[in-house]
Amino acid sequence: MAAATGLQPSPHGSPDRSGRTSPGTGQSPVRGDVTSQDWRRARLWIKDVKDPWDPCILTLDGGGIRGFSSALILKRLMEEIYKWEKKLEEQEGTPTRGDLTELTHELANDDLSSRSKLPASADELLPCHYFDFMYGTSTGGLIAVMLARLRMNISQCLEQYRIVGDELFGHRKSIIPFMTKYRCEPLERAVKELVAKRDLGHIHPWDEEFRQRIPKMTDSIISRSTAAESDSPRWNPDAPRVCQSCCLTAIHNGTVQRAHLLRSYPHRYTRDLPAWITPYNSGADKLAIWQVTRATSAAPFYFEMLEAIVENEKRGHKDGGIRENNPAGAAYSEFVSLYPKKQKPALMLSIGTGRTSTSPDGFMSALPWPFGHVTLLRKMAENISVIPHLLVKYTESEAKHEEMVRYARGENTWYKRLNVSEGLENMPLDDWTKGKYEGKVVPGGASLSRMHEATDRYLSRDVDDQIEKFVAPKDMIEQLAEKLVRVRRARERLGGERWETFIGRGLRERMVRQTIETT
């Protein structure tokens, strides 16, 4: 695809003689120190699609109920994507067939070529048609699973988030300090029902047969030194595949040991892994989808940790946010190890759950309590053991963002982050206050309205030089949308098995057949 040849006209002002962009009148949606070179790099990145199959990556922070804000940001992105799909179709025509809506049971026998090139609304677009990988921690992991592994649209995701939020946080289990406050059964039940309804298999790894051929490599150091000599199949970056999900959890056996990745794809590390890359566990654990969502969201003081048998070993899993609340670093490490010949992905979008203050919120609200009840000691000890790690939740997310900005040399090309800057700072992770939402008084309505209003303000405001490195959130959304649409259209133009597999053609039939063969 042809690249832009020069600086494009900008609604935000024009470069002055110093090379900086002057905002013109009023507030500016761009930083005052952005140069013409910065703009040129940004436009080249947006328009130039060198390899259409360079991966597009989405990462989602943990944040309890505040993950609703992350989903709202994604909804705005999908709306902007829809605008760019229509705009580029009008300008350039349809690349080939325009298969933008997922096959469902009702549409399974439809002639795709007879349907409209675009769905009726942005709500029908699937994020899994625009991203190759989705990484999430805690409730960010839940969103990643819904959008990638279960291939839902964003409206379905938001509705399910509301349902789960009410079932989880609407009924408190315990008020005893250091004891879990809520029951985990509602989340388990909701995810199981979703999995049955989506009919895309119940095990998290997509290709279980392939996964079983990968040797157990639990020690990352061993895997770095020996995996290269193994006869097991390597990850093939050019193989046809659908969008993948990966959830971060924390392995627990009395003390928090390490972050652990629950992948839907197979992976093992090679000997030539760069020294600066963090090696996680290898392989894709054979866990049910409901177990993965429970494992990544087992927040201390909120839910009991998930205990599961993995390769004949009993293992405890807690909220991945204890170790890495912002999964962007893990996602970048995975990219480098999966695509060693690539210098950077096509795009990595990191979405937060609202900037937090360092004052206590739900995770630090429990006060020390005497160990007077022997029967409670074990559960209390499980939670107390993670207290030293909880401050990570308030500092690591933005620190990881700054680290990624350094890797990407700014936010004007492949790495970008969206994170509500004001309005959610002191919102407890389990806030579920009754109030008005969308014109009706409903359970959790006040909490939902607060997140919706804060997110809308964030996505409408101009640039904040103390936060943004390049442009205002609304302009970043537009840049992301144009890039994602150009990549998708370039892939469709290439066509072939890789494209057909990526959009999910025949996926349900293959999953049903695989289920029948393994039962």
Q: Which residues are catalytic?
A: 138, 319
* Rg of the chain, C-alpha, whole Å: 23
**What's the burial of 88, exposed, middle or buried (CB within 10 Å: 0-12/13-18/19+)?**
middle
Using CA atoms, how far apart are residues 49 and 72, in angstroms rounded to an integer? 28
Amino acid at 166: D
- The residue behind tokens 């809520």 is 182
Q: How many helices (H) and strands (E) does the chain have?
A: 16, 12
Cα 142 versus chain centre, distance: 9
Compute how many other C-beta atoms are within 10 angstroms of the C-beta atom of residue 439: 7
Nearest CA among 66, 148, 139 for reference residue 303: 139
Under 8 Å CB-to-CB from 287, ≥6 apart: which residues?
A: 203, 204, 262, 295, 308, 310
- Asked if residue 454 lies in contact with residue 354, where contact means CB atoms within 8 angstroms, the answer is yes
- Give all strands (DSSP E) within 56-110, no chain letters: 56-60
Cα-Cα-Cα-Cα dihedral of 326, 328, 334, 337, to 10°?
-130
- Asked if residue 139 lies in contact with residue 190, where contact means CB atoms within 8 angstroms, the answer is no
Q: What values do phi and psi take at 458, rounded to 5?
A: -60, -45
Using CA atoms, how far apart are residues 320 and 136, in angstroms rounded to an integer? 9
Nearest CA among 126, 165, 124, 163 for reference residue 148: 126
Under 8 Å CB-to-CB from 70, ≥6 apart: which residues?
A: 60, 61, 63, 140, 143, 351, 352, 353
Nearest CA among 263, 443, 351, 273 for reference residue 73: 351
Using CA atoms, how far apart are residues 324 and 321, in angstroms rounded to an integer? 5
Q: 3-class DSSP state for residue 12?
A: coil
- For residue 459, what is the enclosing H or E element? helix 445-460
Using CA atoms, how far apart are residues 166 and 140, in angstroms rounded to an integer? 17
- For residue 113, what is the enclosing H or E element? none
